[in-house]
Structure 1
Amino acid sequence: MVAVYFVILDSEISDPEGLASISDSLADMVRAHGGRYLVRGEPTEAKGGELALKRMAVVEFDSMAQVTALFEVDAFVELREQRSRIADTSAFIVEGV
């Protein structure tokens, strides 16, 4: 089975306290659906190009089904909507090799 990675990138955070207030709830839901955080926090050093990121997370899942189930949870959808109002966020899912 190929692992699946959910990558979250924040390029601008307008309300750091607001983001902090929902981050733990989001992380708890991610873990409850089998996600394992590999990276979570602020990038510290660019090794090429310009780094316009304020914060990032990389979460590993065993399957696409786990990620899909997470995105169908109403509470998760609501928290992501809250997050979108306080941070300029890009997110994507990619399969491992």
Structure 2
Amino acid sequence: MPKGYVLAEIDVTDPQGYEAYKKLSSQAAADHGGRFLVRGGEVTHLEGERTPNRIVILEFDSPEQAQAFFDSPQYQAAAAVRRRASVANFYCLTGA
């Protein structure tokens, strides 16, 4: 069965608020079996017109588990905090 991934491109607008989101989302990810593969760090722009100041990649045992994490009330409560502290695009991906 292929792995599932959540990929986020994030531009933080309120660093203090974003720190609160990180705590909430970390717990939600752990509770849903998620593993952080990339969480922040340096982003090297290779091509295209946009470079987010933060990229996050979470791995799950299946695409369904990744979607269940994102849709969960626990994560959606964290996402409400994130929306006040950043501008972001989120994607659910199926591994090879």
TM-score class, shorter: 0.7 to 0.9
Query: In structure 1, the residue corresponding to 2:65 is in which secondary structure?
Result: helix
Q: Give the C-alpha shift of residue 69 in structure 1.
A: 2.5
Cα distance in 2 between the residues matched to 1:48 and 1:64: 27
> What residue identity is the alignment partner of 1:4?
G
State the partner residue of 1:64: 63
- 1:39 Cα deviation (Å)? 0.4
CA RMSD after TM alignment: 1.7
Counterpart amino acid of 1:5? Y
Post-superposition offset of 1:52: 2.1
TM-score in terms of structure 1 length: 0.85
Which structure 2 residues correspond to residues 3-42 of structure 1 after superposition, within 5 A? 3-10=3-10, 12-42=11-41
- Aligned with 2:43: secondary structure? coil
Q: Provide the rounded CA distance (Å) in 1 between the counterparts of 2:39 and 2:63.
A: 20
CA distance in 2, matches of 1:22, 1:91: 15
Q: Contact 1:7 / 1:57 at 8 angstroms: preserved in 2?
A: yes
* Runs of 5+ unmatched residues, structure 1: none
**Shift, 1:83, TM fit:** 0.5
Gaps of 5+ in 2: none
Alpha-carbon shift at residue 47 of structure 1 (Å): 2.8
% same residue: 27
Aligned length: 96
- Aligned mates of 1:96, 1:70 — CA distance in 2: 16
Q: C-alpha separation between the residues in 2 aligned to 1:41 and 1:25?
A: 16
Instruction: State the match for 1:92 in structure 2.
Output: 91
d(CA) in 2 for partners of 1:93, 1:72: 11
TM-score, structure 2 length as denominator?
Answer: 0.86
> 1:50 Cα deviation (Å)?
4.5
Local SS of the residue matching 1:47: coil
